[in-house]
């Protein structure tokens, strides 16, 4: 644990230095290895029988969640702890035709908040991309992997996970299983005396709950760390006496501020939603995902979840998938829920997501890279002229859907800093440039 905490502290220190909040620092921050220098294959993690001691990554040592090791870990979540299956089912694989386009690598864009220009090809390494699949009109026009990820491998989706359950949550609202105006406590009485007790399902779905929970990854005391430790996804220090499951943690969440007045990104909302979904359907969130979406996509692979000791999947960030399957999910959304020969999600559910939520509520959260956006059913709605919307997870995970450009981008990455504020300047304009390129050169 000492090593783990030391490494994590170093990693957080680096992150803090780079936020720009600490520009007065006298000592320059150590340079962070770039994508090539931090390549997990090049660094030889877990190679050898056995690997040399300094190349071993595992859960017990706690060394798996530090840069550059997590460039290996994000593609090997199942090797770090218990997981549950999200079955592909027994059907045939849905075909994603290949139609590679060589012209994309030279598409250029201006980095947000800078005069610098990059190309799509250059941005791959700038963003520490582990894999990216671009679909245009349903065909794979670009597919590239690096680091520890391959087409047949699986990568953690982090908070992209949330959008799956926001979507399922809205499906349950649409079919009447959930009342979006009902209080959380109506579905989960155990949450009655917590900060969630008198929030509505809608407020949870759109993350406008008033609860005491910090998602500041640069602060080791932020509640997000306690949350993840409770679920056993991060190791616990010796003598740990905190909550021992996701549900136990949820019951410790306190109120802070009013509900329904501002968007505030707090992962714990997704796990509360997971509990609501589990109670309303009588099935685990993993089974819900399997039955309502995954089995119907014609996925190439099973997906899987990190799971706690009582069998609760980490609805806030524990999904792992193959990248092409993540692209299939995005394509299904682009096609308004219809994919692989069936209406998987009602068209009205996709429409409700695309419509977005209250922009003023969103503006209060101060995301400078996302002006005019909103957050609806755990999706980030850009409200740009293309009607783009996205699922987003720390370290650069994303599904980016641009309806006007008939484009879906699925990307897995292992960017050194957690918050997407770090990679947005070289990601969001790249996605938009590609979209405009497709419209200009169909």
Interacting residues toward a second copy by CB under 8 A: 46, 49-51, 56, 58-60, 76, 78-85, 87-90, 92-93, 151-154, 245, 247, 275, 278-279, 284, 295, 300-302, 304, 307, 309-312, 324
CA distance 58 to 45: 10
Q: What count of residues does the chain have?
A: 442
Output the CA torsion sign for 398, 402, 403, 407.
Answer: negative
CB of 84 or CB of 426, closer to a second copy:
84
Question: What are the angstrom distances between the C-alpha of 310 and each of 85, 190, 246, 356?
Answer: 15, 16, 9, 35
| Main-chain dihedrals φ then ψ at residue 338, nearest 5 degrees | -100, 120
Supply the minimum distance, in Å, between the C-beta of residue 272 and a second copy.
Answer: 12
CB of 240 or CB of 257, closer to a second copy:
240
CA distance 371 to 126: 23
CB of 78 or CB of 338, closer to a second copy:
78
CB of 93 or CB of 421, closer to a second copy:
93
R_g (Cα) of the chain, nearest Å? 21
Any idea which residue has 């009205």 for tokens?
A: 348
Supply the minimum distance, in Å, between the C-beta of residue 41 and a second copy.
Answer: 13
Supply the minimum distance, in Å, between the C-beta of residue 84 and a second copy.
Answer: 6
Supply the minimum distance, in Å, between the C-beta of residue 335 and a second copy.
Answer: 22
Supply the minimum distance, in Å, between the C-beta of residue 370 and a second copy.
Answer: 33
CA distance 216 to 337: 34
Cα 256–312–73 angle (5° rounding)?
95
Supply the minimum distance, in Å, between the C-beta of residue 78 and a second copy.
Answer: 5
Supply the minimum distance, in Å, between the C-beta of residue 35 and a second copy.
Answer: 23
CB of 38 or CB of 306, closer to a second copy:
306
Supply the minimum distance, in Å, between the C-beta of residue 293 and a second copy.
Answer: 15
CB of 245 or CB of 256, closer to a second copy:
245
CB of 66 or CB of 426, closer to a second copy:
66
**Burial (0-12, 13-18, 19+ Cβ within 10 Å), 253:** buried
Closest CA to 393 of 63, 162, 100, 182: 162
Cβ atoms 110, 37 nearer than 8 A: no
Q: Where are the alpha helices (DSSP H) in 231-337?
A: 246-250, 268-281, 285-292, 323-334
* Residue 41 structure tokens: 């294959």
Beta bridge partners of 129: 413
CB of 63 or CB of 427, closer to a second copy:
63
Supply the minimum distance, in Å, between the C-beta of residue 176 and a second copy.
Answer: 20
Torsion of CA 209, 242, 395, 140, to 10 degrees: -80
CB atoms under 10 Å from CB of 46, counted, come to 18
CB of 331 or CB of 432, closer to a second copy:
331
CB atoms under 10 Å from CB of 373, counted, come to 23
* Residue 216 structure tokens: 């500041």
């Amino acid at each position: 644990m000492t090593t783990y905490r030391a490494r994590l502290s170093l990693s957080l220190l680096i992150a803090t230095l780079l936020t720009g909040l600490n520009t007065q620092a006298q000592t320059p921050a150590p340079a962070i290895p770039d994508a090539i220098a931090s390549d997990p294959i090049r660094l030889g993690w877990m190679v050898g029988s056995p690997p040399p001691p300094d190349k071993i990554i595992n859960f017990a040592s706690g060394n798996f969640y530090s840069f550059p090791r997590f460039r290996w870990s994000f593609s090997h979540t199942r090797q770090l702890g218990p997981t549950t299956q999200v079955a592909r089912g027994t059907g045939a694989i849905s075909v994603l035709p290949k139609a590679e386009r060589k012209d994309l690598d030279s598409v250029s864009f201006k980095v947000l908040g800078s005069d610098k220009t990059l190309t799509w090809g250059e941005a791959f390494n700038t963003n520490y991309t582990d894999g990216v699949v671009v679909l245009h009109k349903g065909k794979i026009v670009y597919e590239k992997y690096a680091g520890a990820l391959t087409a047949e491998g699986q990568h953690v989706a982090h908070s992209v996970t949330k959008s799956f359950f926001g979507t399922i949550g809205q499906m349950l609202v649409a079919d009447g299983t959930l009342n979006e105006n009902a209080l959380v406590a109506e579905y989960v009485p155990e949450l009655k005396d917590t900060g969630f007790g008198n929030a509505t399902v809608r407020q949870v779905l759109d993350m406008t709950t008033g609860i005491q929970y910090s998602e500041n990854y640069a602060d080791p005391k932020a509640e997000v760390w306690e949350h993840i430790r409770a679920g056993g996804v991060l190791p616990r220090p010796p003598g740990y006496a905190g909550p021992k499951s996701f549900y136990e943690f949820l019951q410790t969440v306190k109120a802070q501020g009013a509900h329904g007045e501002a968007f505030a990104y707090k992962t714990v909302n997704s796990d509360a939603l997971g509990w609501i979904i589990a109670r309303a359907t009588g099935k685990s969130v993993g089974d819900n995902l399997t039955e309502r979406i995954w089995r119907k996509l014609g996925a190439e692979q099973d997906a899987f979840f990190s799971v706690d000791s009582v069998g609760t999947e980490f609805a806030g960030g524990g999904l792992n998938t193959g990248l092409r399957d993540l692209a299939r999910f995005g394509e299904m959304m682009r096609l308004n829920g219809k994919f692989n020969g069936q209406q998987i999600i009602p068209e009205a559910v996709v429409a409700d997501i695309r419509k977005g939520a209250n922009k003023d509520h969103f503006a209060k959260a101060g995301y400078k890279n996302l002006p005019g956006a909103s957050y609806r059913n755990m999706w980030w709605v850009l409200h740009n002229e293309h009607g783009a919307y996205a699922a987003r997870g720390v370290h650069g995970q994303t599904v980016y859907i641009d309806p006007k450009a008939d484009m879906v981008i699925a990307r897995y990455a292992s960017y050194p800093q957690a918050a997407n504020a770090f990679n947005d300047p070289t990601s969001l304009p790249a996605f938009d440039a590609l979209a405009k390129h497709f419209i200009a050169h169909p």
